[in-house]
Structure 1
Amino acid sequence: MRKKLIFLFVASLTFFSCSKQGNPKLVVYIVSDQLTPSLLNKFDPLFTGGFRWLKDNGINYTNTFHNHGKTNTGPGYFTLSTGVYPGKGGIISNDWYVRDMKRSINVVEDTSATNFSGKGIGRSFKNISSSTLADWLKDTHPSSKVVSISGKDRGSILMGGRNPDLALWYDKDGGFTSSTYYLPALPVWVSDFNKNLNVLSYTDSTWSRLKEPGIYSKYARPDDFKGEKIVSKKKGAKPILPLNFGEMSPSSLLSGFYEYPQGDRALVNLAIKSISQLKLGKDNYPDILFLGLSATDGVGHHFGPNSVEQLDNYLRSDKNLMLLIDYIRDEIGLDDIVFILTGDHGVMALPEYLQSKKISSGRISSSQRKKVYSEILNQINQIIGIDKVVQYGNAFYFNKDLSKEEREVATKIIKKAVRYIEGVSEALSLEDILNLSPNKLNNRLKNMIHPHKGPDVYVLLKENWLWKRSYGSSHGSHYDYDSHVPLIISKNNIIKDYINSTVHTVDIPLTIANILDLNYSKNVDGIPLNVQFQSK
């Protein structure tokens, strides 16, 4: 009996709920754009760096899904930051049409702010009504620091919340920027970082394979696959590695730098610099570093998820993340750090690749789509009146003053016509979606609906079809390949574990709030996970 009691006592020392261990000094919340569990698992034997460390010291939630239908970056980051479904929060896409303004707006648009880059409409969190994990931290611990860095403005802004100490994103012109919403001027050290980065100097650089050819033959499909984008402007160029950045136009290199592994390396270096400059994790108040990596999305859009380029990007991301972890180990120590790794959405394989596997797939014909949409609007204009319905993207917005009968007529016209677009499943009205019977896919559609901001009719794709018409892959659907993302919660020196039950991304910010013992908004959709670490 005495031996049994001793055993139980020892076990109690090694098995604990993270919410009862006091606040970590630093939470590193990593969102890798378009990161997928399938590729993390497929490439697992090749990882020796950051992915390896996070997996070997983490709890891996293998069935984590975004539970909303519009699986784009804006809705994804919003969910990961607020624990609120995008429809409920009014973040229905990366951009959408506003009836009263008669134009589209960007999810983080702020006409009252000025970007320090001097380009484009200002960007900020100003027009977002939901509170975020960063806000909950600041409300509980005003002295805590929040740093949010991403290749994309919406990634940095949606994670950083209302009052981050620093929010930075790539300006698509060779540097990282912020706006006057956050600071009176760009910090000098960030300007110096941009000068040293010198993106145009990469014209002398080549993106080559990290590993020997046999690795790519084993873990990726053949290079130069139909459907990949040719990035090089050199005559006769093919979509293969090595890629000489000097063969890209200077404007393409500047605007697209963040879409390549070298851009993610710059992001990690900037994150390391921010830890040093803001002294994150150095006092008694918990801090959060949000890091939004963008290269996996860029590479996936250009070359597809099963490409040689994407395999090489994952290998480089593995190295980059280890640089960050090693720096934190050396400067702060790892025992009081919690890491979270997840993604803002998944991705579909190249249609051409799926077709090679005898899977029905394809790309929507842009000419057919344009023709059908034009016919729809012409019919509506003739029957109801001109400019009563606006087509934006693959959805239709009705004027607010349309009668019930006019709405029914317009909806009927749209539903009938889109059936002639090969690859389209159907068109559904807002009411159709709200009245769908509950199931996994239908619930995702419902969670993207906002009764006032959203379109009146949505055009939905068949499974394994893309709107992207000529090259590469994309996302945005309610199907599993776009919704399934990784979730690994890691802490130094714990026994790795696998949780196979289904969880949703709205649960993640609430889970982190519990780890940090924060009060959070009650107007949320997620449920905090009961995270328990077991020491090695």
Structure 2
Amino acid sequence: MKKILVFTAALAFAVSAQQAERPKLVIGIVVDQMRYDYIYRFWDLFGDGGFKELVNNGYNCTSTHYTYVPTFTAPGHTSIFTGTTPWMHGIIGNNWFERETNKPVYCAEDKTVTAVGGTPANGEFSPRRLLVNSIADEMKISNSFHSKVIGVAIKERSSILPAGRSADAAYWLDRATGKWITSTYYRTDLPAWVNNYNNLKRADELLSKKWELSFPIEKYSMCGPDDSKFEGLFKGEEKPIFPHDLPTIKSLMGDYELIPSTPMGDIMTAEFAIEAIKGENLGKGEFTDILTLSFSPPDYVGHRYGPQSVELADCYVKLDKDLKLLFDFLKSHFPKGDYVLFLSADHGVAEIPGFLRQNHIDCGLIDFSAYTKAANAALNNHFNAGTDSNFVINAQNYQFYFNYDLMKKYKTTSEEMVEIIKPELMKFTEIRDVVPSSSLDEASNSADPVRKKFFFGYHKKRGGDCWIDFVPAWLLGFGNTGTSHGSPFEYDSHVPLIFYGMGVNKGENNSAVEIIDIAPTIANYLKIMAPNGSFGKVIQGVFKK
């Protein structure tokens, strides 16, 4: 009997010791639309305790890339936390064309659920379209769902998809009310800590002040002029210059869209994340908990003003302070330092085309309406189908979706249709190639690196019938101001990746790293299984042995 008791006690001690070696909390931070170079470009504007704390005391993977197309928000967030690409996880864009319903669908839409705590339509979201597990799901599976998982982001897709299908909750901003909400997929009421934060009416408080520069304009010497014709305007503005009169703009817009469109949203995100850690007692239980956290405003600011703008630089200066607020809280709340985090981005961004052209660099805007028109004209002419037949019924994520009814009627194939439209589409300066999706299996072994990215961004049940391949610096755009992302090229694919906290080595890794390597690296450190669809590798050197 004594031997059994001794063995049982030893086993319990061993299990307890194993758990003690793991962090109590993992935080995955994503900065929406953060290019790799921004850390160094804005370095002299940063204070201590934010980005500099990560670089100086963390493990910096300086050559981290996305290896698929398209580089958009939903697939980016999903790939980080699942360790796989759209080829497997199924989130092939923010939106895609659904054959079953014959209409475009949104990556997180779910009409079977409704809002909890907000406008009903603003809560019709869930992770049901996600086809694989996230690292958060695997954490919960590893201990029979005792771990807690919370997702936080202003964008609902950026909160929902990283947290996986079994999260305790995901919270996002209701832009009609300025309050944090969730959906009935997760729960039927808001916890007290969420209501308490919402009752502070921080959105109203933050939008009652102008957006002022953090420093004198002279300190932003790495930026272009504040008054640039290539930058967008808020409603009521005549020039895109500081200060931005947020109270007046809000009165004209009538809702809380200014929160995600300005650094005020980053403040609310950091504050709400801290309240989530406290309110849910994250990191205070027996097992490791996970918080997925995304800062959405840099994407909105980047789209409107572009990489050369003073607004974007100031957005990062303010984000740096928000990160310091979060990191200082973690140090005080976890005095043993038993937490680990990483910071990365869901994609980068291109320079504003007008800015490049002004400096003699060739670029332009991609126009899928023109390509669709040209393709339909070529196909109508070839099959003598008249002028009103739409052989191309949708264009999403650099892909054409063909009309299967017309294909059947004219006894043709997608491969033949690509051969028909390719000569016409290749007349556009910006188009590099037109590729049938059926050829992508061969592309996985192709010497063409872009073709490989098509392969890993394509899902056979959700993707289109052919891909349009473009030259660099041409981007999906909506006018003469602002910029966008989505391409396979350096400016969209190269993002930061820094690990920090318990067990993390200080150092730098200049070797090639793929974004899908993050989840298996964290899983390996936590001694749990990598996500079920993961095919990333463990990044060597991140954690102490």
TM-score with structure 2 length normalisation? 0.88
CA separation in 2, counterparts of 1:523 and 1:176? 31
Aligned partner of 2:515 in structure 1 is 505
Name which of 423, 435, 438 aligns with 2:442: 435
Mapped to 1, the partners of 2:381 and 2:492 lie a distance apart of 34
Indicate the residue corresponding to 1:383 in structure 2. Answer: 385
1:15: which partner in 2? none
User: Is residue 183 of structure 1 aligned with residue 182 of structure 2?
Assistant: no
CA contact (8 A) 2:376 2:391 kept: no
- What CA distance in whole angstroms lies between the structure 2 residues aligned with 1:495 and 1:88? 31
| Superposed displacement of residue 279, structure 1 | 0.9
Aligned to 1:462: 471
1:99 touches 1:399 (CA, 8 Å); kept in 2?
no
- Name the CA shift for 1:182/1:269 in 2 (closer, same or farther; >3 Å): same
* CA drift at 1:203: 4.6
Whole-angstrom distance in 1 between the partners of 2:412 and 2:371: 26
Q: 1:380 to 1:52 in 2, by over 3 A?
A: farther
Q: Label 1:27 to 1:386 Cα distance change in 2 as closer, same or farther (>3 A).
A: same
Deviation at 1:299, TM superposition (A): 0.8
Percent same amino acid at aligned positions?
32
Partner of 1:96: 96
* Matching of residues 252-291 of structure 1 within 5 Å: 254-291=256-293
2:528 corresponding residue in structure 1? 518
Question: C-alpha offsets along residues 349-388 of structure 1, whole Å, 9 cap, x if unaligned?
Answer: 1112222333211224587557536645755885399455
Q: Does 1:164 align with 2:171?
A: no
Q: 1:334 to 1:222 in 2, by over 3 A?
A: farther
The answer to whether the 8 Å contact 2:213/2:242 transfers is yes
Partner of 1:353: helix, strand, or coil?
A: helix
285, 295, 298: which is aligned to 2:297? 295
Residues 444 and 395 of structure 1, relative CA distance in 2, 3 Å threshold: closer
Listed as ranges, the gaps of 5+ residues in structure 2 are: 1-17
**Alignment match, 2:62:** 62
Question: 1-side partners of 2:429 and 2:300: how far apart?
Answer: 27
Between the aligned partners of 1:376 and 1:121, the Cα distance in structure 2 is 43
Specify the alignment match of 1:24 in structure 2. 23
CA distance change for structure 1 residues 378 and 247 in 2, over 3 Å: closer, same or farther? farther
Question: How far is the alpha carbon of 1:171 from its aligned partner?
Answer: 2.2
> What amino acid is the match of 1:73?
T
Contact 1:334 1:491 in 2 (8 A): no
Query: What's 1:223 paired with?
Result: 226
**Aligned match of 1:242:** 243
Amino acid at match of 1:101: T
2:313 aligned partner, one-letter code: L
Q: Pick the aligned partner of 1:151 from 127, 149, 154.
A: 154
Superposition TM-score, scaled by structure 1 size: 0.89
Partner of 1:417: 424
Question: In structure 1, the residue corresponding to 2:512 is in which secondary structure?
Answer: strand
Asked whether the equivalents of residues 88 and 132 of structure 2 are also in contact (C-alpha less than 8 Å), the reply is: no
Residue 75 of structure 2 corresponds to 75
Deviates most, 291-300 or 326-335: 326-335
Given the superposition, is the C-alpha separation of residues 380 and 54 from structure 1 closer, same or farther in structure 2, using an over 3 Å criterion? farther
C-alpha distance after superposition, 1:206-261 (max 9, x if no partner)? 11110122211x22122222321011414xx2112211112325446513421321
SS, match of residue 207 in structure 1: coil
Letter of the 1:429 counterpart: P
Contact 2:519/2:531 (CA < 8 Å) preserved in 1?
no
Partner of 2:213: 209
Count, aligned residues: 514
Which region of structure 1 is more displaced relative to structure 2, 23-32 or 418-427? 418-427
Unaligned runs of 5+ in 1: 1-18
Shift of 1:189: 2.9
Task: Give 1:200 shift.
Answer: 4.2
Distance 1:339 1:203, change over 3 A: closer
* C-alpha RMSD over aligned residues: 2.6
Please give the per-residue CA displacement for 1:25-56, whole angstroms capped at 9, x wherever unaligned. 11111000111111111122332231111111
**Residue type of the partner of 2:52?**
R
User: Which of 404, 414, 419 is 1:407 aligned to?
Assistant: 414
Letter in 1 for 2:509: I
Which residue of the partner structure matches residue 361 of structure 2?
A: 359
Q: Specify the alignment match of 2:496 in structure 1.
A: 486
Three-state SS of the structure 1 residue aligned to 2:75 is: helix
| Partners of 2:352 and 2:482 within 8 A in 1 | yes
Secondary structure in 2 aligned to 1:243? coil
1:530 corresponds in structure 2 to 540
SS of residue matched to 2:224:
coil
In the other structure, the counterpart of 2:11 is none
Alpha-carbon separation, structure 2, partners of 1:381 and 1:296: 48
- State the secondary structure of the residue aligned to 1:312: helix
Which one is further off, 244-253 or 373-382?
373-382
Matches of 2:369 and 2:134 in 1, distance apart? 42
Structure 1 match to 2:329: 327
Structure 2 contact 250–258 (Cα < 8 Å) conserved: no
- Measure the CA separation in 2 of the matches of 1:204 and 1:66: 39
